[in-house]
């Protein structure tokens, strides 16, 4: 098995400097020191779970760059870099494009005239790219990306402004299992996901607001914010190792564990990763020359 690789961004310039989702309030800002401690706590758990962490350099004036899930959508050596809906985050785009370019990825154009917020809104589960639209990303962009990558796309409409990215209400754990908060989806989206994902672990209202669905998955390890005990019990009964780590400074910005990460080698739930990297082959696969662990 190749080592899981995750992109993160140290919260040196993180803060609540504008309001682009219902969680953000410029009058109740984040504690800079605590944010760094919480971020380091998450990073440590990921390293302990076996992941290699790569870091994109933080930039003053781009407080949400820490949410690397929104950097883009990685598919093998290709990446579709995000085009953010809000002007406040658009300054991240050239910086992220540059990082992917320098690390050997082929950058695919983001479909014209559409917004796309990367792995925040597009998550592989099995063979399907499940894609949230309306609040941040556009349905048409998702369809065009699916056509270009040659994968099936299941667009689902996000209907609750507090769960504005798909990764706040849906988290694939394996090709056949996912955590979800169905109240963030319309009736059609709920049916579509129920038809596509065999085992669904439902999160209640209270834990959904603790960002229980915003989990990072590394093998059998599942990491979330604290206050997700009901989810913990469900995960334990399915043989997952659940860890809860405080991320309260980031939830003030509307993000949690998953948002702070971008899986660079493909999520565990993505069939393309499993099928291109069977453990026997992966063990012998050469390491790409152009990728390094520095920024």
Q: How far is the CB of 290 from ligand ARG (least distance, A)?
A: 26
Instruction: Give the distance, in angstroms, between the CA of residue 49 and the centroid of all CA atoms in the same chain.
Output: 17
Structure tokens at 95: 């910086």
| C-alpha to C-alpha distances, 2 to 7, 103, 268, nearest whole angstrom | 16, 17, 11
Q: Hey, what are 193's tokens?
A: 């996901």
Cβ partners under 8 Å of residue 278, min gap 6? none
Site for ligand ARG in 171-210 (CB under 6 A): none
User: E strands of 184-231, at which residues?
Assistant: 199-202, 216-218, 221-224
Cα separation, 114 vs 112, in Å, equals 6
- Give the one residue of 11, 15, 254, 266 binding ligand ARG; rule: CB under 6 A: 254
Q: Which stretch binds ligand ARG (CB under 6 A): 64-72, 152-160, 191-199, 231-239?
A: 64-72
Query: Structure tokens of 53?
Result: 């962490």
- Least Å distance, CB 250 to ligand ARG, is 8
Among 9, 125, 142, 165, which one carries the catalytic annotation? 165
One symbol per residue from 78 to 97: x for binding ligand ARG (CB under 6 A), - otherwise; what is it?
A: -----------x--------
70 belongs to the binding site for ligand ARG (CB under 6 A): yes
160 binds ligand ARG (CB under 6 A): no
Among residues 2, 21, 98, 143, the one that binds ligand ARG under rule CB under 6 A? 21
Smallest distance from ligand ARG to CB 255, Å: 3
Interface with ligand ARG includes 255 (CB under 6 A)? yes
* Residue 167 touches ligand ARG, criterion: CB under 6 A: yes
Distance CA 3, CA 42 (A): 18
Q: Give which of 224, 223, 177, 220 is closest to 202, Cα–Cα.
A: 177
Q: How far is the CB of 287 from ligand ARG (least distance, A)?
A: 28
The answer to whether 181 and 160 have CB atoms below 8 angstroms apart is no
Q: In the numeric block, which tokens belong to residue 126?
A: 């099995």
In whole angstroms, the minimum distance from the beta carbon of 34 to ligand ARG comes to 17
Catalytic residue list contains 125 = no
Q: Which is nearer to ligand ARG, 228 or 253 (CB)?
A: 253
Angle at 269 between CA 255 and CA 166, to 5 degrees: 35
What are the residues binding ligand ARG (CB under 6 A)?
Answer: 20-21, 24, 64, 67, 69-70, 89, 120, 165, 167-168, 253-255, 259
Q: What positions carry a catalytic annotation?
A: 165, 259
């Amino acid at each position: 098995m190749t080592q899981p690789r995750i992109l993160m961004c140290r919260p040196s310039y993180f803060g609540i400097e504008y309001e682009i989702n219902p969680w953000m309030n410029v009058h109740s800002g984040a504690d800079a020191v605590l944010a760094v401690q919480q971020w380091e706590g998450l990073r440590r758990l990921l390293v302990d779970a076996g992941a290699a962490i790569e870091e994109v350099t933080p930039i003053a004036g781009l407080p949400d760059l820490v949410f690397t899930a929104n950097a883009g959508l990685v598919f093998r050596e290709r990446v579709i870099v995000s085009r953010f809906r809000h002007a406040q985050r658009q300054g991240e785009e050239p910086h992220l494009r540059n990082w992917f370019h320098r690390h050997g990825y082929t950058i695919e154009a983001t479909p014209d005239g559409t917004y796309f917020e990367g792995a925040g809104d597009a998550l592989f589960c099995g063979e399907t790219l499940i894609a949230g639209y309306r609040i941040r990303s556009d349905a048409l962009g998702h369809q065009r990306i699916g056509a270009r990558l040659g994968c099936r796309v299941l667009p689902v409409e996000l209907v609750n402004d507090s769960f504005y990215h798909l990764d706040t209400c849906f988290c694939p754990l394996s090709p056949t299992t996912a955590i979800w908060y169905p109240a963030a989806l319309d009736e059609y989206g709920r049916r579509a996901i129920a038809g596509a994902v065999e085992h669904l672990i439902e999160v209640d209202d209270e834990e959904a607001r603790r960002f229980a669905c915003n989990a990072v998955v590394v093998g059998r390890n599942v990491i979330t914010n604290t206050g997700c005990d009901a989810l913990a019990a469900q995960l334990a009964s399915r043989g997952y190792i659940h860890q809860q780590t405080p991320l309260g400074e980031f939830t003030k910005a509307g993000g949690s564990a998953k948002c702070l990460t971008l899986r660079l080698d493909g999520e565990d739930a993505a069939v393309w990763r499993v099928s291109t990297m069977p453990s026997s082959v992966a063990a012998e696969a050469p390491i790409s020359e152009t990728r390094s662990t520095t920024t």
